[in-house]
Amino acid sequence: MPEGPSLVIAKEEMAPFIGKKVIAVSGNTKTDKDRIFNKKLLDIKTWGKHLLFCFDGFTIRIHFLMFGKYLVNAKREGDPRLSMEFKNGEINLYTCSVKFIEEPLDEIYEWSADVLSDAWDPKAAKTKLKAVPDMMVTDALLDQTIFAGVGNIIKNEVLYRIKVHPKTKVGALPTKQLNALIKEARNYSFDFLEWKKEYTLRKHWLAHTKKTCSRDGDKIVKEYLGKTQRRTFFCNTCQVLYE
């Protein structure tokens, strides 16, 4: 599943189409895609893992699910879920969810929850975390209402950075570690964004998919944890289980 930084990169790649009219539309989505024909793309926004194409009076929300892809000025085998053609190129979206949003986006999205947004509010994140003391931190980091844009890679790397065991309950975190969790969720997301643009992201992983801890040489454990049972990589030696 693409994480928030990957959506920011997609938005940047698609920026040349802002202000352009859709001259052709196709795809196997069951939504009323023909409504966007001959409409001008006014803006492209992101919120967490949502890619938002803004038109006059409505927005198309794209969620790439687990295996979604996008291509700009290129195609792959198989029908896209949605394809939009402009005079200066095309956007092709595959294996994704397509939904029309009729309401103003400010009524739908809490921009301050997006870890990559200028509107990000760490105090609000802290308030939300304190309201769920029995939630494991591995679930808290993936909760899009708290950390919109954080995905499994960011989750694993943040917990490794701050030396917190993923099975720790939010309410058991010392204040220092709680603050570190919030700070590093944003910091690592920006690092992810930079490394993704450089095509060096994997080289910087310290826990995700690793076998050995670079700090103490012990085994990196892989377990499927939390409500979503996502792959979690961690070191039982240096990542503290607070109780």
Where in the chain are the domains? 4-108, 111-235
Structure tokens at 138: 């591995």
* pLDDT for the residue numbered 202: 95
Task: Residue 85: name the closest of 37, 34, 35, 29 by CA.
Answer: 37
Which positions ≥6 away from 44 have C-beta within 8 Å? 11, 14, 15, 17, 18, 51, 52, 53, 54
Which residue shows structure tokens 């700070």? 183
Task: Give the class (CATH, top level) of 111-235.
Answer: mainly alpha
Architecture of domain 4-108: Alpha-Beta Barrel (3.20)
159: three-class secondary structure by DSSP: helix
- Helix, strand, coil percentages (3-state) for the chain, rounded to 5, are 35, 25, 40
Do residues 91 and 14 lie in contact, with contact meaning Cβ atoms separated by under 8 Å? yes
Distance of alpha carbon 64 from alpha carbon 68, whole angstroms: 4
Do residues 136 and 166 lie in contact, with contact meaning Cβ atoms separated by under 8 Å? yes
* pLDDT for the residue numbered 1: 66
Which residue shows structure tokens 């990559």? 116
Look at strands 97-101 and 58-63 and give their pairing.
antiparallel
Structure tokens at 122: 């760490």
Per-residue pLDDT of the chain (243 residues; tens, 9 = 90+): 679 999 999 999 999 999 999 999 999 999 999 999 999 999 999 999 999 999 999 999 999 988 899 999 999 888 999 999 999 999 999 999 999 999 999 999 999 999 999 999 999 999 999 999 999 999 999 999 999 999 999 999 999 999 999 999 999 999 999 999 999 999 999 999 999 999 999 999 999 999 999 999 999 999 999 998 999 999 999 999 999
